[in-house]
Amino acid sequence: MEESHESEMKVECHSGTVRRSHHSPKVKKNLTSRLNRIEGQIRGIKGLIDKDTYCDDVITQISAVQSALNGVSKILLEGHLKHCVVERVQEGDDEVLDELLTTIKRLMK
């Protein structure tokens, strides 16, 4: 992964029956900033299509968006592994490992 966000993360995975993540304000700001940029890139791609931009140029922009989304996923996955998964395994909940494998398979599509 690009850079570790471990020191920036505070993740609480579940309390009772509700599963939630609670990221530090710094991590939330980072994720929100990345997603806002991605949202702008998507609007840009729509504009390129409206302007009949050359297909290869549009595909290049789509690839950039996919890469940016992968970056967001990596940050979330890192926090999930280091906190949620570890916490649940320590509590004896091995079901989280199957959930993690399903998540990884989804990310690798």
Per-residue model confidence as pLDDT tens digits over 14-24: 555 677 877 88
Please tell me the predicted confidence (pLDDT) of residue 12: 57
Q: What residues contact 22, with CB distance under 8 A and at least 6 apart? A: 10, 11, 12
0.85 surpassed by pTM? no
Please tell me the predicted confidence (pLDDT) of residue 19: 77
Please tell me the predicted confidence (pLDDT) of residue 18: 76
Tell me: the pLDDT tens digits for 48-105? 999 999 999 999 999 999 999 999 999 999 989 998 899 999 999 999 999 999 999 9
Q: What is the CA angle 74-77-83, rounded to 5?
A: 140
Pick among 3.40.50.300, 3.40.50.980, 3.90.79.10, 1.20.58.1000: CATH of 33-107: 1.20.58.1000
